[in-house]
């Protein structure tokens, strides 16, 4: 029974892994195929790889510019989200004040709103403020859905830190800012790192707002990947190559920090 249970468990994990990774495998494989091989029926599993798709997308200057825009916007959004979210999470975790539950619900409810509902109002506001096709408008709108993530994760991290450490620091004459900077921030660093990672990934992969609010100057990498499509042609090889270029850096980064992500997500789950 025990052996059978382990076998079914391993089989279930294998099915989940294949189901999860197969789309990525197909995207990467298609990026090395010709258009004829991609559209072949039945699918071509064995083929001669070609780098033509990658050569074509990197020969296009807008691809390099879009990757730079994505890096700038995602980095700025992550920095602002952590800078503003960590102190807010500390206040929610350690202080009791009027309207605290309402403020907490407001932070969490921001993640419940569908982006498509806000796309038109945000576009009209950006147009009136003359912010269309700028980096700042994407940074601000990305901040609205990344800040709640930082607050949510970091609040739990700060709650898991024993209050005795704060009381001992107060006896030694430390003020509130010193306690936050020298005690809470170092101990909650894994959780803060996890929130920063999620914030960066969500900002890097976001498409809808970038598609609606940008034209050329501030286009991000996902928008440029969709721009290869036209009414007369679907160059799947270039689209898959662009998708691979977009996904690969984030995937490698997530694999490198996966251990820290698990540690940060599980901190505070048990006492």
Per-residue pLDDT tens digits for 23-73: 888 899 999 998 888 888 888 888 888 888 898 888 888 888 898 999 999
Higher pLDDT, 93 or 73: 73
Secondary structure letter of residue 231 according to DSSP:
S
Asked if the structure places residue 271 within a domain, the reply is: no
pLDDT category of residue 77 using cuts at 50, 70 and 90: very high
Q: What percent of the chain has pLDDT above 70?
A: 93
Asked if the structure places residue 15 within a domain, the reply is: no
Q: Are 260 and 198 in contact (CB under 8 A)?
A: no
Rounded average pLDDT over 188-212: 88
Q: What is the pLDDT of residue 259?
A: 66
Rounded average pLDDT over 1-23: 83
Asked if the structure places residue 69 within a domain, the reply is: yes
Place of tokens 């990672």: 197
Q: Per the structure, how many domains does the chain have? A: 1
Rounded average pLDDT over 138-152: 91
Q: What is the pLDDT of residue 130?
A: 92
Domain of 93, CATH number, reads 1.10.3720.10
pLDDT category of residue 184 using cuts at 50, 70 and 90: confident
Q: Which residues contact 34 (CB under 8 A, 6 or more apart)?
A: 47, 50, 52, 237
**What's the Cα-to-Cα distance from 118 to each of 22, 32, 76, 78, 137, rounded to whole Å?**
33, 38, 22, 21, 14
CA separation for the pair 159, 92 (Å, rounded): 9
Asked if the structure places residue 19 within a domain, the reply is: no
pTM of the model: 0.81
Residue 135 has pLDDT above 90, yes or no: yes
pLDDT category of residue 266 using cuts at 50, 70 and 90: low
Place of tokens 């979210």: 85
pLDDT category of residue 117 using cuts at 50, 70 and 90: confident
CA separation for the pair 271, 269 (Å, rounded): 7
Q: Which two tokens stand for residue 97?
A: 């004040």
pLDDT category of residue 231 using cuts at 50, 70 and 90: low
Q: What is the pLDDT of residue 271?
A: 43
- The SS3 assignment for 230 reads coil
- The SS3 assignment for 28 reads helix
Rounded average pLDDT over 196-209: 89
Q: Which two tokens stand for residue 76?
A: 């700025």
CA separation for the pair 57, 6 (Å, rounded): 46
Average pLDDT, the chain: 84
Q: What is the pLDDT of residue 265?
A: 55
Rounded average pLDDT over 77-105: 87
Asked if the structure places residue 178 within a domain, the reply is: yes
Q: What is the pLDDT of residue 145?
A: 87
Please list, residue by residue across 249-258, b when 16 or more beta carbons sit within 10 angstroms of its beta carbon and e when fewer do. Answer: eeeeeeeebe
Asked if the structure places residue 35 within a domain, the reply is: no
Asked if the structure places residue 227 within a domain, the reply is: yes
- The SS3 assignment for 129 reads coil
Q: Which residues contact 103 (CB under 8 A, 6 or more apart)?
A: 92
Q: Which two tokens stand for residue 209?
A: 């707002």
Residue 1 has pLDDT above 80, yes or no: no
Query: For the chain, how many residues are written?
Result: 271
Asked if the structure places residue 39 within a domain, the reply is: no
CA separation for the pair 271, 26 (Å, rounded): 43
Sign of CA dihedral 26, 29, 32, 36: negative
CA separation for the pair 54, 32 (Å, rounded): 8
Q: Which two tokens stand for residue 52?
A: 């033509």
Structural domain span for residue 69: 53-266
């Amino acid at each position: 029974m025990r052996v059978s249970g382990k076998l079914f468990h391993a089989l279930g994990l294998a099915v989940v892994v294949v189901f999860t990774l197969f789309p990525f495998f197909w995207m990467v494989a298609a990026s090395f195929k010709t258009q004829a091989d991609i559209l072949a029926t039945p699918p071509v599993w064995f083929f001669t790889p070609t780098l033509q798709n990658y050569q074509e997308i990197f020969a296009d200057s807008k691809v390099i510019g879009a990757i730079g825009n994505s890096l700038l916007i995602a980095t700025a959004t992550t920095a602002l989200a952590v800078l503003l979210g960590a102190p807010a999470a500390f206040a929610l975790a350690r202080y009791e004040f009027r309207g605290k539950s309402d403020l907490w619900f407001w932070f969490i409810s921001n993640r419940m709103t569908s982006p498509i509902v806000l796309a038109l109002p945000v576009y009209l506001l950006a147009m009136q403020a003359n912010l269309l096709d700028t980096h700042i408008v994407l940074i601000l709108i990305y901040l609205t859905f990344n800040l709640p993530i930082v607050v949510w994760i970091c609040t739990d991290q700060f709650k898991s830190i024993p209050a005795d450490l704060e009381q001992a620091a107060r006896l030694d004459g430390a003020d509130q800012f010193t306690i936050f900077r020298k005690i809470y921030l170092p101990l909650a660093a894994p959780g803060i790192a996890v929130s920063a990672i999620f914030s960066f990934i969500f900002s890097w992969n976001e498409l809808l707002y970038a598609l609606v609010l940008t034209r050329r100057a501030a286009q991000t990498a996902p928008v440029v990947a969709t721009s290869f499509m036209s009414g007369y042609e679907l160059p799947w090889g270039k689209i898959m190559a662009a998708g691979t270029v977009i996904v690969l850096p984030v995937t490698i980064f997530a694999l490198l920090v996966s251990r820290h992500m698990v540690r940060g997500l599980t901190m505070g789950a048990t006492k």
